[in-house]
Amino acid sequence: MMLTEKLEQLKALFAEMEQALIAYSGGVDSTLVAKIAYDVLGDRALAVTAVSPSLLPEELEDAKIQAATIGIKHKIVQTNEMDNPNYTSNPVNRCYFCKSELHDTLKPLARNLGYPYVVDGVNADDLHDYRPGIQAAKERGARSPLAEVGVTKLEVRQLSQQLSLPWWDKPAQPCLSSRFPYGEEITVTKLQRVGRAEIYLRKLGLKNLRVRSEGDTARIELPLEQIKEFVLTTDLQQVVSAFQEFGFIYVTLDLEGYRSGKLNQVLQPQASGVKA
Protein backbone atom coordinates (compact mmCIF):
# COMPACT_ATOMS: atom_id res chain seq x y z
CA MET A 1 0.00 0.00 0.00
CA MET A 2 1.28 3.46 -0.92
CA LEU A 3 2.22 5.85 1.86
CA THR A 4 -0.39 8.35 0.69
CA GLU A 5 -3.06 5.65 0.99
CA LYS A 6 -1.99 4.85 4.54
CA LEU A 7 -2.20 8.52 5.45
CA GLU A 8 -5.71 8.72 4.04
CA GLN A 9 -6.67 5.62 6.01
CA LEU A 10 -5.35 7.19 9.19
CA LYS A 11 -7.36 10.31 8.54
CA ALA A 12 -10.49 8.24 7.88
CA LEU A 13 -9.93 6.31 11.08
CA PHE A 14 -9.86 9.50 13.16
CA ALA A 15 -12.86 10.90 11.31
CA GLU A 16 -14.82 7.81 12.37
CA MET A 17 -13.71 8.23 15.98
CA GLU A 18 -14.97 11.84 16.08
CA GLN A 19 -13.09 12.44 19.35
CA ALA A 20 -9.83 10.95 20.60
CA LEU A 21 -7.38 11.21 23.48
CA ILE A 22 -3.79 10.47 22.44
CA ALA A 23 -1.29 8.85 24.78
CA TYR A 24 1.43 11.28 23.82
CA SER A 25 5.04 10.80 24.94
CA GLY A 26 6.61 13.28 22.54
CA GLY A 27 8.34 10.50 20.62
CA VAL A 28 8.16 10.45 16.83
CA ASP A 29 5.36 7.84 16.75
CA SER A 30 2.87 9.41 19.15
CA THR A 31 3.66 12.87 17.78
CA LEU A 32 2.69 11.77 14.27
CA VAL A 33 -0.54 10.34 15.68
CA ALA A 34 -1.21 13.63 17.49
CA LYS A 35 -0.55 15.62 14.30
CA ILE A 36 -2.94 13.58 12.15
CA ALA A 37 -5.58 13.50 14.89
CA TYR A 38 -5.41 17.28 15.21
CA ASP A 39 -5.54 17.80 11.44
CA VAL A 40 -8.76 15.77 11.30
CA LEU A 41 -10.42 16.53 14.63
CA GLY A 42 -9.08 19.91 15.68
CA ASP A 43 -10.15 20.67 19.26
CA ARG A 44 -11.82 17.26 19.48
CA ALA A 45 -8.35 15.76 19.85
CA LEU A 46 -6.40 15.90 23.11
CA ALA A 47 -2.77 14.88 23.67
CA VAL A 48 -1.95 13.68 27.18
CA THR A 49 1.59 13.21 28.47
CA ALA A 50 2.19 11.09 31.55
CA VAL A 51 4.97 12.35 33.81
CA SER A 52 6.96 10.13 36.16
CA PRO A 53 10.61 9.71 37.21
CA SER A 54 11.17 7.48 34.17
CA LEU A 55 10.60 10.39 31.76
CA LEU A 56 13.52 12.70 31.04
CA PRO A 57 12.71 16.35 31.84
CA GLU A 58 14.09 17.14 28.39
CA GLU A 59 11.53 14.85 26.80
CA LEU A 60 8.67 16.58 28.62
CA GLU A 61 9.85 19.97 27.35
CA ASP A 62 10.11 18.57 23.82
CA ALA A 63 6.58 17.19 24.10
CA LYS A 64 5.25 20.59 25.16
CA ILE A 65 7.00 22.38 22.28
CA GLN A 66 5.89 19.83 19.70
CA ALA A 67 2.27 19.90 20.87
CA ALA A 68 2.27 23.70 20.71
CA THR A 69 3.75 23.59 17.21
CA ILE A 70 1.04 21.18 16.06
CA GLY A 71 -1.65 23.21 17.80
CA ILE A 72 -3.24 20.28 19.63
CA LYS A 73 -4.60 20.65 23.15
CA HIS A 74 -2.07 19.20 25.59
CA LYS A 75 -2.60 17.95 29.12
CA ILE A 76 -0.05 16.58 31.59
CA VAL A 77 -0.88 13.93 34.18
CA GLN A 78 1.14 12.11 36.81
CA THR A 79 1.51 8.34 36.87
CA ASN A 80 2.71 6.31 39.83
CA GLU A 81 4.28 3.15 38.48
CA MET A 82 7.14 3.66 40.96
CA ASP A 83 4.68 2.75 43.74
CA ASN A 84 4.19 -0.70 42.22
CA PRO A 85 6.79 -3.30 43.30
CA ASN A 86 5.89 -5.35 40.21
CA TYR A 87 7.41 -2.49 38.24
CA THR A 88 10.33 -1.43 40.45
CA SER A 89 11.58 -5.00 40.83
CA ASN A 90 12.25 -4.78 37.07
CA PRO A 91 10.99 -8.14 35.78
CA VAL A 92 11.17 -8.97 32.06
CA ASN A 93 7.54 -7.85 31.70
CA ARG A 94 8.15 -4.54 33.48
CA CYS A 95 6.56 -2.62 30.61
CA TYR A 96 3.26 -4.40 31.23
CA PHE A 97 2.97 -2.76 34.63
CA CYS A 98 4.07 0.62 33.28
CA LYS A 99 1.44 0.62 30.52
CA SER A 100 -1.17 -0.73 32.94
CA GLU A 101 -0.61 2.31 35.15
CA LEU A 102 -0.66 4.63 32.13
CA HIS A 103 -3.93 3.35 30.69
CA ASP A 104 -5.57 2.94 34.10
CA THR A 105 -4.94 6.70 34.35
CA LEU A 106 -5.92 7.67 30.80
CA LYS A 107 -9.06 5.55 30.40
CA PRO A 108 -11.08 7.18 33.22
CA LEU A 109 -9.69 10.58 32.25
CA ALA A 110 -10.95 10.10 28.69
CA ARG A 111 -14.33 8.95 29.92
CA ASN A 112 -14.70 11.90 32.28
CA LEU A 113 -13.72 14.39 29.54
CA GLY A 114 -16.01 12.81 26.96
CA TYR A 115 -13.43 11.12 24.72
CA PRO A 116 -14.64 7.69 23.59
CA TYR A 117 -11.21 6.54 22.40
CA VAL A 118 -7.70 6.39 23.81
CA VAL A 119 -5.08 5.87 21.10
CA ASP A 120 -1.34 5.34 21.26
CA GLY A 121 1.69 5.45 18.97
CA VAL A 122 2.33 1.72 18.60
CA ASN A 123 3.42 1.06 15.00
CA ALA A 124 3.33 -2.07 12.86
CA ASP A 125 6.94 -3.00 13.61
CA ASP A 126 6.23 -2.96 17.36
CA LEU A 127 3.81 -5.86 16.91
CA HIS A 128 6.72 -8.10 15.91
CA ASP A 129 8.72 -7.26 19.05
CA TYR A 130 8.36 -8.53 22.59
CA ARG A 131 6.26 -5.66 23.91
CA PRO A 132 4.31 -6.66 27.04
CA GLY A 133 3.04 -3.10 27.32
CA ILE A 134 0.98 -3.56 24.16
CA GLN A 135 -1.02 -6.28 25.89
CA ALA A 136 -1.76 -4.00 28.85
CA ALA A 137 -3.00 -1.26 26.51
CA LYS A 138 -5.22 -3.65 24.55
CA GLU A 139 -6.72 -5.05 27.74
CA ARG A 140 -7.84 -1.53 28.58
CA GLY A 141 -9.37 -0.85 25.18
CA ALA A 142 -6.68 1.41 23.70
CA ARG A 143 -6.33 1.59 19.93
CA SER A 144 -3.16 1.83 17.85
CA PRO A 145 -3.96 3.61 14.56
CA LEU A 146 -0.47 3.23 13.10
CA ALA A 147 -0.46 -0.50 13.70
CA GLU A 148 -4.05 -0.86 12.47
CA VAL A 149 -3.13 0.74 9.15
CA GLY A 150 0.21 -1.09 8.92
CA VAL A 151 2.53 1.92 9.25
CA THR A 152 6.11 0.84 9.97
CA LYS A 153 8.73 2.80 11.92
CA LEU A 154 10.42 3.88 8.68
CA GLU A 155 7.06 5.06 7.33
CA VAL A 156 6.42 6.99 10.55
CA ARG A 157 9.53 9.02 9.80
CA GLN A 158 8.64 9.36 6.12
CA LEU A 159 5.12 10.58 6.93
CA SER A 160 6.46 12.95 9.59
CA GLN A 161 8.86 14.44 7.06
CA GLN A 162 6.10 14.63 4.44
CA LEU A 163 3.93 16.53 6.94
CA SER A 164 6.84 18.94 7.60
CA LEU A 165 7.33 17.89 11.22
CA PRO A 166 10.84 19.12 12.12
CA TRP A 167 11.45 16.24 14.52
CA TRP A 168 10.90 13.48 11.92
CA ASP A 169 14.43 12.16 12.55
CA LYS A 170 14.32 12.43 16.35
CA PRO A 171 16.19 9.51 17.97
CA ALA A 172 14.13 6.91 19.82
CA GLN A 173 13.97 7.65 23.54
CA PRO A 174 12.35 4.83 25.54
CA CYS A 175 11.72 5.29 29.25
CA LEU A 176 14.75 5.47 31.52
CA SER A 177 13.86 2.17 33.19
CA SER A 178 15.07 0.40 30.06
CA ARG A 179 18.65 1.32 31.02
CA PHE A 180 18.79 -1.29 33.80
CA PRO A 181 19.38 -5.05 33.50
CA TYR A 182 16.30 -7.09 34.33
CA GLY A 183 16.14 -7.96 38.01
CA GLU A 184 17.99 -4.88 39.24
CA GLU A 185 15.67 -2.77 41.36
CA ILE A 186 14.68 0.57 39.88
CA THR A 187 14.67 3.61 42.17
CA VAL A 188 14.04 7.30 41.62
CA THR A 189 17.67 8.04 42.50
CA LYS A 190 18.96 5.60 39.87
CA LEU A 191 16.61 7.00 37.22
CA GLN A 192 17.72 10.54 37.98
CA ARG A 193 21.42 9.79 37.67
CA VAL A 194 20.92 7.99 34.35
CA GLY A 195 18.80 10.87 33.08
CA ARG A 196 21.36 13.48 34.11
CA ALA A 197 24.17 11.45 32.51
CA GLU A 198 22.37 11.18 29.17
CA ILE A 199 21.47 14.87 29.16
CA TYR A 200 25.16 15.66 29.86
CA LEU A 201 26.26 13.62 26.83
CA ARG A 202 23.60 15.18 24.60
CA LYS A 203 24.90 18.61 25.51
CA LEU A 204 28.24 17.46 24.10
CA GLY A 205 26.47 17.07 20.75
CA LEU A 206 25.77 13.34 20.87
CA LYS A 207 22.32 12.12 19.79
CA ASN A 208 21.99 8.35 19.50
CA LEU A 209 23.24 7.06 22.81
CA ARG A 210 22.38 5.15 25.93
CA VAL A 211 23.83 5.19 29.43
CA ARG A 212 23.28 1.71 30.79
CA SER A 213 23.32 1.41 34.57
CA GLU A 214 24.54 -1.74 36.30
CA GLY A 215 25.03 -1.31 40.02
CA ASP A 216 27.44 1.58 40.48
CA THR A 217 28.72 1.37 36.90
CA ALA A 218 27.64 3.53 33.97
CA ARG A 219 28.24 1.99 30.55
CA ILE A 220 28.12 4.49 27.70
CA GLU A 221 26.82 3.19 24.37
CA LEU A 222 27.53 5.24 21.24
CA PRO A 223 27.21 4.32 17.54
CA LEU A 224 30.27 2.28 16.62
CA GLU A 225 31.47 4.84 14.08
CA GLN A 226 31.47 7.59 16.73
CA ILE A 227 33.51 5.82 19.39
CA LYS A 228 36.97 6.69 18.06
CA GLU A 229 36.14 10.38 17.65
CA PHE A 230 34.57 10.48 21.11
CA VAL A 231 37.72 9.03 22.70
CA LEU A 232 40.06 11.32 20.77
CA THR A 233 38.17 14.60 21.09
CA THR A 234 36.42 14.37 24.47
CA ASP A 235 37.90 15.21 27.85
CA LEU A 236 37.27 11.73 29.24
CA GLN A 237 38.33 12.66 32.78
CA GLN A 238 35.77 15.45 32.76
CA VAL A 239 33.09 12.95 31.71
CA VAL A 240 34.13 10.61 34.52
CA SER A 241 34.04 13.44 37.05
CA ALA A 242 30.59 14.52 35.89
CA PHE A 243 29.21 10.99 36.08
CA GLN A 244 30.68 10.54 39.55
CA GLU A 245 28.94 13.73 40.62
CA PHE A 246 25.70 12.21 39.34
CA GLY A 247 26.27 9.20 41.64
CA PHE A 248 28.14 6.60 39.58
CA ILE A 249 31.46 5.19 40.81
CA TYR A 250 32.71 3.60 37.58
CA VAL A 251 32.33 4.84 33.99
CA THR A 252 32.92 2.56 31.00
CA LEU A 253 32.54 2.74 27.23
CA ASP A 254 30.88 -0.17 25.41
CA LEU A 255 33.24 -1.14 22.58
CA GLU A 256 30.49 -3.06 20.78
CA GLY A 257 28.69 0.22 20.20
CA TYR A 258 25.09 1.33 20.62
CA ARG A 259 22.47 -1.27 19.82
CA SER A 260 18.80 -0.84 20.62
CA GLY A 261 17.60 -3.51 23.03
CA LYS A 262 21.06 -4.71 24.04
CA LEU A 263 20.02 -5.56 27.58
CA ASN A 264 17.45 -7.98 26.18
CA GLN A 265 20.04 -10.39 24.82
CA VAL A 266 19.74 -12.26 28.14
CA LEU A 267 16.13 -13.14 27.34
CA GLN A 268 14.88 -16.28 25.67
CA PRO A 269 14.85 -16.13 21.85
CA GLN A 270 11.09 -15.57 21.65
CA ALA A 271 11.41 -12.49 23.87
CA SER A 272 14.64 -11.07 22.50
CA GLY A 273 12.91 -8.66 20.12
CA VAL A 274 12.00 -6.16 22.82
CA LYS A 275 13.71 -2.81 22.31
CA ALA A 276 15.10 -0.59 24.99
User: What is the DSSP code string of the chain?
Assistant: --HHHHHHHHHHHHHHHSSEEEE--SSHHHHHHHHHHHHHHGGGEEEEEEE-TTS-HHHHHHHHHHHHHHT-EEEEEE--GGG-HHHHT--TTHHHHHHHHHHHHHHHHHHHHT---EE----GGGGGS--HHHHHHHHTT-B-HHHHHT--HHHHHHHHHHTT-TTTTPPP---GGGGS-TTSPP-HHHHHHHHHHHHHHHHTT--S-EEEEETTEEEEE--HHHHHHHHHHS-HHHHHHHHHHHT-SEEEE-TT---TTGGGGGS-GGGTT---
What pLDDT, on the 0 to 100 scale, is given for residue 128?
Answer: 87
Would the pLDDT of 190 be above 90?
Answer: yes
What pLDDT, on the 0 to 100 scale, is given for residue 32?
Answer: 98
Would the pLDDT of 240 be above 80?
Answer: yes
pLDDT digits 0-9 by tens, 23-48: 999 999 999 999 999 999 999 999 99
How large is the average pLDDT for residues 239-258? Answer: 97
What pLDDT, on the 0 to 100 scale, is given for residue 259?
Answer: 80
For each of the domains in the chain, give its residue range(s) and CATH number, in order of start: 3-162 (3.40.50.620), 176-271 (3.30.300)
Q: Is the pTM of this model over 0.85?
A: yes
pLDDT digits 0-9 by tens, 109-132: 999 999 999 999 999 999 988 889
